[in-house]
Amino acid sequence: MEVKITSDELAETLNKLMEDYTGTVTEIVNEQAKDTAEWSSDELKKGGPYRERTGKYTKDWDSKIREKRVSKLTGEVTYSVYNKKHYQLTHLLEKGHVKRNGSGRVRAFEHIAPVEKEAEERFVKGISEGIERL
Protein backbone atom coordinates (compact mmCIF):
# COMPACT_ATOMS: atom_id res chain seq x y z
CA MET A 1 0.00 0.00 0.00
CA GLU A 2 1.51 3.26 -1.13
CA VAL A 3 0.41 6.57 0.33
CA LYS A 4 1.72 9.96 -0.73
CA ILE A 5 1.99 12.45 2.11
CA THR A 6 3.93 15.60 2.78
CA SER A 7 6.46 15.97 5.55
CA ASP A 8 3.93 18.02 7.51
CA GLU A 9 1.43 15.13 7.46
CA LEU A 10 3.97 12.47 8.45
CA ALA A 11 3.52 12.71 12.21
CA GLU A 12 -0.26 12.75 11.95
CA THR A 13 -0.30 9.75 9.60
CA LEU A 14 2.07 7.74 11.81
CA ASN A 15 -0.05 8.49 14.88
CA LYS A 16 -3.18 7.31 13.07
CA LEU A 17 -1.49 4.08 11.92
CA MET A 18 -0.22 3.38 15.46
CA GLU A 19 -3.66 4.02 16.98
CA ASP A 20 -5.27 1.61 14.49
CA TYR A 21 -2.65 -1.06 15.21
CA THR A 22 -2.94 -0.58 18.99
CA GLY A 23 -6.73 -0.83 18.81
CA THR A 24 -6.53 -4.06 16.84
CA VAL A 25 -4.02 -5.60 19.26
CA THR A 26 -6.18 -4.55 22.22
CA GLU A 27 -9.18 -6.29 20.62
CA ILE A 28 -7.11 -9.47 20.19
CA VAL A 29 -5.95 -9.35 23.83
CA ASN A 30 -9.50 -8.75 25.12
CA GLU A 31 -10.94 -11.59 23.04
CA GLN A 32 -8.20 -13.97 24.17
CA ALA A 33 -8.65 -12.95 27.83
CA LYS A 34 -12.37 -13.75 27.66
CA ASP A 35 -11.77 -17.11 25.94
CA THR A 36 -9.07 -18.08 28.43
CA ALA A 37 -11.20 -17.14 31.46
CA GLU A 38 -14.13 -19.17 30.15
CA TRP A 39 -11.86 -22.12 29.36
CA SER A 40 -10.33 -21.97 32.86
CA SER A 41 -13.69 -21.99 34.64
CA ASP A 42 -14.85 -24.89 32.45
CA GLU A 43 -11.70 -26.87 33.28
CA LEU A 44 -12.14 -26.26 37.01
CA LYS A 45 -15.78 -27.37 36.76
CA LYS A 46 -14.53 -30.78 35.62
CA GLY A 47 -13.10 -31.34 39.08
CA GLY A 48 -9.69 -32.33 40.33
CA PRO A 49 -7.87 -35.14 42.09
CA TYR A 50 -10.10 -34.83 45.17
CA ARG A 51 -13.23 -36.83 45.99
CA GLU A 52 -16.14 -34.45 46.24
CA ARG A 53 -19.08 -35.54 48.36
CA THR A 54 -21.79 -33.11 47.21
CA GLY A 55 -20.64 -31.80 43.82
CA LYS A 56 -21.34 -28.21 44.84
CA TYR A 57 -17.70 -27.05 44.86
CA THR A 58 -16.92 -27.83 41.24
CA LYS A 59 -20.14 -26.50 39.70
CA ASP A 60 -19.68 -23.05 41.29
CA TRP A 61 -16.60 -22.02 39.26
CA ASP A 62 -17.21 -18.95 37.11
CA SER A 63 -15.43 -16.02 35.48
CA LYS A 64 -16.26 -12.31 35.44
CA ILE A 65 -14.88 -9.00 34.23
CA ARG A 66 -12.81 -7.07 36.77
CA GLU A 67 -13.25 -3.32 36.90
CA LYS A 68 -10.05 -1.30 37.14
CA ARG A 69 -9.06 2.27 36.45
CA VAL A 70 -6.20 1.26 34.19
CA SER A 71 -8.58 -0.79 32.07
CA LYS A 72 -10.62 2.30 31.31
CA LEU A 73 -7.52 4.15 30.08
CA THR A 74 -5.97 1.37 28.01
CA GLY A 75 -9.14 -0.39 26.88
CA GLU A 76 -7.89 -3.75 28.13
CA VAL A 77 -10.36 -5.99 29.94
CA THR A 78 -9.27 -8.28 32.78
CA TYR A 79 -11.12 -11.31 34.09
CA SER A 80 -11.24 -13.23 37.36
CA VAL A 81 -11.90 -16.94 37.64
CA TYR A 82 -13.40 -17.68 41.04
CA ASN A 83 -15.63 -20.02 42.99
CA LYS A 84 -18.92 -18.22 43.68
CA LYS A 85 -20.10 -19.88 46.90
CA HIS A 86 -17.25 -22.05 48.15
CA TYR A 87 -14.32 -19.65 47.81
CA GLN A 88 -13.14 -20.57 51.32
CA LEU A 89 -12.36 -24.12 50.19
CA THR A 90 -10.09 -23.19 47.29
CA HIS A 91 -7.03 -22.47 49.42
CA LEU A 92 -7.71 -25.36 51.81
CA LEU A 93 -7.97 -27.89 48.97
CA GLU A 94 -5.08 -26.44 46.98
CA LYS A 95 -2.58 -26.10 49.85
CA GLY A 96 -3.83 -28.53 52.51
CA HIS A 97 -4.53 -27.60 56.12
CA VAL A 98 -4.14 -28.71 59.74
CA LYS A 99 -6.63 -31.37 60.88
CA ARG A 100 -9.41 -30.45 63.30
CA ASN A 101 -7.79 -32.07 66.32
CA GLY A 102 -4.37 -30.63 65.44
CA SER A 103 -2.72 -34.00 64.86
CA GLY A 104 -1.17 -33.64 61.42
CA ARG A 105 -2.18 -32.14 58.13
CA VAL A 106 -4.76 -32.91 55.47
CA ARG A 107 -3.31 -33.73 52.05
CA ALA A 108 -3.24 -30.94 49.45
CA PHE A 109 -5.09 -31.49 46.15
CA GLU A 110 -3.48 -29.20 43.59
CA HIS A 111 -6.18 -28.48 41.04
CA ILE A 112 -6.01 -24.73 40.43
CA ALA A 113 -2.26 -24.33 39.73
CA PRO A 114 -2.18 -26.73 36.73
CA VAL A 115 -5.17 -24.99 35.14
CA GLU A 116 -3.59 -21.59 35.79
CA LYS A 117 -0.33 -22.66 34.17
CA GLU A 118 -2.05 -24.02 31.07
CA ALA A 119 -4.28 -20.91 30.88
CA GLU A 120 -1.18 -18.68 30.83
CA GLU A 121 0.30 -20.71 27.98
CA ARG A 122 -2.98 -20.66 26.01
CA PHE A 123 -3.33 -16.90 26.55
CA VAL A 124 0.17 -16.08 25.28
CA LYS A 125 -0.13 -18.49 22.36
CA GLY A 126 -3.53 -17.06 21.36
CA ILE A 127 -2.23 -13.49 21.40
CA SER A 128 0.84 -14.44 19.37
CA GLU A 129 -1.27 -16.21 16.76
CA GLY A 130 -3.71 -13.29 16.60
CA ILE A 131 -0.92 -10.75 16.05
CA GLU A 132 0.72 -12.96 13.41
CA ARG A 133 -2.56 -12.94 11.43
CA LEU A 134 -2.43 -9.12 11.19
User: What is the percent of the chain where pLDDT is above 90?
Assistant: 62
User: What is the rounded CA–CA span in Å between residue 57 and residue 87?
Assistant: 9
Is 3 a residue whose pLDDT tops 90?
no
pLDDT tens-place string over residues 4-53: 888 778 888 888 888 888 888 989 999 999 999 999 999 999 988 888 88
Residue spans per domain, the chain: 10-132
Mean pLDDT of the region 109-132: 96
What is the DSSP code string of 2-33?
A: -----TTTHHHHHHHHHHHHHHHHHHHHHHHH
Predicted TM-score of the model (pTM): 0.83
Give the tens place of pLDDT for each residue, 37-48: 999 999 999 988
Residue 113: pLDDT over 80: yes
The dihedrals phi and psi of 43, each to the nearest 5 degrees, come to -65, -40
